[in-house]
Amino acid sequence: MIIAAIIILAYLLGSIPSGLIVGKVGYGIDIREHGSGNLGGTNTFRTLGVKAGLLVTSADILKGTLAASLPFFFGLENVHPLLIGIFAVIGHTYPLFANFKGGKAVATSGGILLFSAPLMFITMLAVFFLFLYLTKYVSLSSMLTGIYAIIFSIFIGDPVLIAVVSILSLFVIYRHRANIKRIRDKTEPKVKWI
């Protein structure tokens, strides 16, 4: 019963639409009507600027971190935090509070890893920015970082970590399928600040 409640709470945490809240409260804009129409950090950066983008990305990471920490707070040390955290990723991608149309799962996935495997999260950040510097594509950097995360998790050897990271990374790639087409067609926007 407690596990079911934690799963629901993790999903609800993930469902908090950070991009929508920041856009409407701070700028009077529904971010879904601008740019890619996505609720995630990348569209916020492009539509509302660096300050809003950092705020949304940080909030989306925090959602994952809080969700993954729920078993600890409820004294369920035998429940792997990643297995709960994954429901926050589902909530972020298909949010109850935003008509089930959310982000692409990158930041919230990172957030659950921040709690479960902080060293891995830090190296993923470094790898992401390296790929971003080399390619100038946020989407491609996110996907390549997911592949790196799978390799890193295999070296750690935790079966749950390997399984969850593999599922999340493949899901992130699936969510970026439109970006993959735009990269092929050379129409995907590049970042200019790095």
111-142 pLDDT, tens per residue? Answer: 999 999 999 999 999 999 999 999 999 999 99
Provide DSSP, 50-113.
Answer: HHHHHHHHHHHHHHHHHHHHHHHHTT-TTS-HHHHHHHHHHHHHS-GGGTT----SHHHHHHHH
User: Among candidates 144, 120, 119, which has minimal Cα distance to 131?
Assistant: 144
Q: What is the pLDDT of residues 33-48, one digit of tens each?
A: 988 888 888 899 888 9
Say what the pLDDT of residue 191 is. Answer: 86
| Distance, CA of 7 to CA of 14 (rounded, Å) | 11
Q: What is the mean pLDDT of residues 91-116?
A: 94
Q: What burial class does residue 108 get, using C-beta atoms within 10 Å of its C-beta: 0-12 exposed, 13-18 middle, 19+ buried?
A: buried
- Contact yes or no for 92/14 (Cβ under 8 A): yes
Mean pLDDT value across residues 13-40: 91
d(CA 73, CA 81): 11
Q: Are 112 and 86 a contacting pair, CB within 8 Å?
A: yes
Helices (H) and strands (E) in the chain, counts: 11, 0
Token pair of 162, please?
Answer: 């390997």
Cβ–Cβ under 8 Å, residues 162 and 154: yes
Percentage of the chain lying above the pLDDT 70 cut: 100
Residue 1 has pLDDT above 90, yes or no: no
Decide if pLDDT at 193 tops 80: no
pLDDT band at 77 (very low <50, low <70, confident <90, very high): confident
CA gap 50, 174 in Å, rounded:
26
Two tokens, residue 2: 């407690």
